[in-house]
Chains A and B, each alone.
Chain A
């Protein structure tokens, strides 16, 4: 019995000693290792995900004291999750956002001010970037994020399908009349079973965050806009807007050059349709090629697909895409987080991201590289940046665009006439803007 008690006591001593030793070591270890959570929707994409993980490996090998934990998230879900995490002060240390969300996150206090870090890098640090991306990252005079990719939306088409339809693959449609003509000729029964199985054009027209980028170029090129220049009223009732709206609706209803069910398509559906040779034209940008190539390597997207400027209406214009890296205001390791953000925005990494993902950079020095200037896709994307415009960066924009999308759906599905649907959306947008005043 006594021996048993002694052995229990010995075990307790060992446990206590071990706990003290490990407890003493723990703070020292935590001081050495810094772990940063990095969330980015690209982690869920095969090609981009691989590219980012390689970048993380390079960073960790150069900074042995910093470990990066990737946190994948879907594109449509990111705002909801980051907002909740920001409210709970648990936001990942570094997150990637696109231009519209950036403003909202700056306003909500969910982004750290990077100005002091940038000042420490020297006065010439920001000279490598274009002015527009830096302006997008600036809020109330402070730089709140570092720019990532900066691209224009272009027309992407399958040259083999154009050839098969008797169209010149080196002469893509230049205006919307030609575009409709091409789309009609590309919509056909390719296997002779009496059913249409190939369509001229497709667009992700469901309510998804990818739609504004792909549909605003059409609206703007008709000389239309969603709100008046003073930002106080809806402009959905202008003749230009009606013309653009009817043109888009009739692609689905009168001309049937888009696949059935277009109002349920997301960007992934449209890429799948293009990868499987069901659709000949879409509006996209640099990221489209690697993703489509990955979906169907047999298509040989780099050879089969081409890029051209978005057809011109009254105005030559397209939409611009801009992303940025944000540091959490609650990060425990701001210095390490800045080091990582700076690394991701560096010339080497932006060059890598171009090579891997065909995304064009916000950095002038990267876009000046011969590999970017001579690439058949990026040279069009960079050239079109001259005509590119960003979505309105006002907090009402998602709701305004939702009103427009609702009208589009109502008109395409026949629930309302295009005029009625647009008139209702016009009233709704005016109500949204009136509330903000």
Chain B
């Protein structure tokens, strides 16, 4: 009898595992295996014939001036991109959340940059910023604002801001759409109550909108940061990390070390360091999800 009661429950549980198993196996194959292999590679000395584990690749990372510069570039690129994504995304989300003529059309238009593939966006911006044939210099010339071509992608002080500019254009719609969804979930009654209490626009934004968007902002911030740390195609297409290493970021440097310099172990150590950094960045997001559950 007892068996009669338990067997269906056991069968159900097994059935559940069986359904989950293919997805789990797939995840193991496409995520865990490559990650494990990279970790193993990063712990090898890179000397042919030598076995065992070593931290020489990580030691080289710490000693490398190039890596330090790349880390600094990545931090600047990510901080500027994410901050501008949030500012522009929030401004547009607030605008598109209000009754506006042609609102649906504006929403579609604002989403368009998000649809453009990374590499295509990079190539397009490279042409826009080309000192000889580019649209940007042509417009500035016509407006009488410049007398000589501006070297957007070669001047040391301009290259990273130029890449960030292209990346802001490319990435703000994602933040905008998340924040727009968040804005629409804030009950209208809260704004009405605040208005009755005499709150002005700024006070309503500060005391109703921002608290209402808190969770959505954390999600947008965490996801956008993770994506921007991994950004590759746009930078590779625009500058390939140049001039010198002035726009080199972690993702382009890992690619270069692995596929151009054939330094598989060193590139793996860099990729592992990058993964560690991403794990730290994603902690607030993970904590929030865990708390919710």
- Residues of A whose CB lies within 8 Å of any CB of B are 79-80, 83, 104, 108, 206-208, 259-264, 273, 278, 395, 398-399, 402, 405-407, 409-410, 412-415, 428, 435
Q: Which of B126, B148, B244, B245 has the most chain A CB atoms closer than 10 A to its own CB? A: B244
CB distance B156 to A414 under 8 Å? yes
CA distance A321 to B5 in the complex (A): 78
The 3 closest A-B pairs by CB, nearest first: A409-B243, A80-B259, A409-B244
Assess whether A406 is in contact with B262, with CB atoms less than 8 Å apart: no
Contact B263 A415 (CB under 8 A): no
Any chain A CB within 8 A of the CB of B14?
Answer: no
Q: Which chain A residues border B132 with CB–CB below 8 Å? A: 259-261, 273, 278
Smallest CB–CB gap between B161 and chain A, Å?
14
Q: Does B261 contact A (CB under 8 A)?
A: yes
Bound complex: CA A263 to CA B130 (Å): 12
Among candidates A278, A398, A406, residue contacting B244 with C-beta atoms closer than 8 Å:
A406
Nearest-neighbour CB distance to chain A for B124, whole angstroms, equals 15
Q: Which of B131, B244, B255 contacts A80 (CB 8 A)?
A: B255
Q: Is B192 an interface residue when CB atoms closer than 8 A count as contact?
A: no
Q: Tell me the B190-234 residues at the A interface (CB within 8 Å).
A: none
- A83 contacts across to B, CB distance below 8 A: 259
State the CA gap A263–B244 with chains docked (Å): 9
Against A, the Cβ 8 Å flags (1 = close, 0 = not) of B107-149 are 0000000000000000000100011100000000000000011
Report the nearest A residue to B266, measured CB to CB. A435
The answer to whether B259 and A79 touch across the interface, beta carbons within 8 angstroms, is: yes
User: Distance in Å from the Cβ of B284 to the closest Cβ of chain A?
Assistant: 34
B239 at the interface (CB under 8 A from A): yes
A202 shortest CB reach to chain B, Å: 11
CB within 8 Å for A410 and B255 given contacts A259-B132, A261-B132: no
- Chain B, Cβ-Cβ closest to A261: B131
> Are A104 and B262 closer than 8 Å at their CB atoms?
yes
| Chain B nearest Cβ from A198, distance in angstroms | 11
Residue among B126, B153, B241, B262 making CB contact with A207, cutoff 8 Å:
B241
User: Chain B contacts of A79 at CB under 8 A?
Assistant: 259-260
Residue of chain B at shortest CB distance from A260: B131
Question: Do B262 and A413 have beta carbons less than 8 Å apart?
Answer: no
Since A207-B241, A413-B244 are in contact, a sample of 19 more A-B pairs with Cβ atoms closer than 8 Å, ordered by chain A residue number, is A79-B260, A80-B260, A83-B259, A104-B262, A207-B242, A264-B126, A264-B242, A398-B261, A399-B263, A405-B242, A409-B154, A409-B243, A410-B243, A413-B156, A414-B156, A415-B156, A415-B243, A415-B244, A415-B246
Cβ contacts under 8 Å, A262 to chain B: 154
Cα–Cα distance between A402 and B148 once the two chains are bound (Å)? 30
Inter-chain contact A402/B243, CB cutoff 8 Å: no
- Which chain B residues border A263 with CB–CB below 8 Å? 154, 242-243
A-B pairs with beta carbons under 8 Å apart, 28 shown: A80-B255, A80-B260, A83-B259, A206-B240, A207-B240, A208-B240, A259-B131, A263-B154, A264-B154, A264-B239, A264-B242, A264-B243, A398-B262, A399-B263, A402-B261, A405-B242, A406-B244, A409-B154, A409-B243, A409-B244, A410-B243, A410-B244, A413-B151, A413-B154, A413-B156, A413-B244, A414-B156, A415-B244
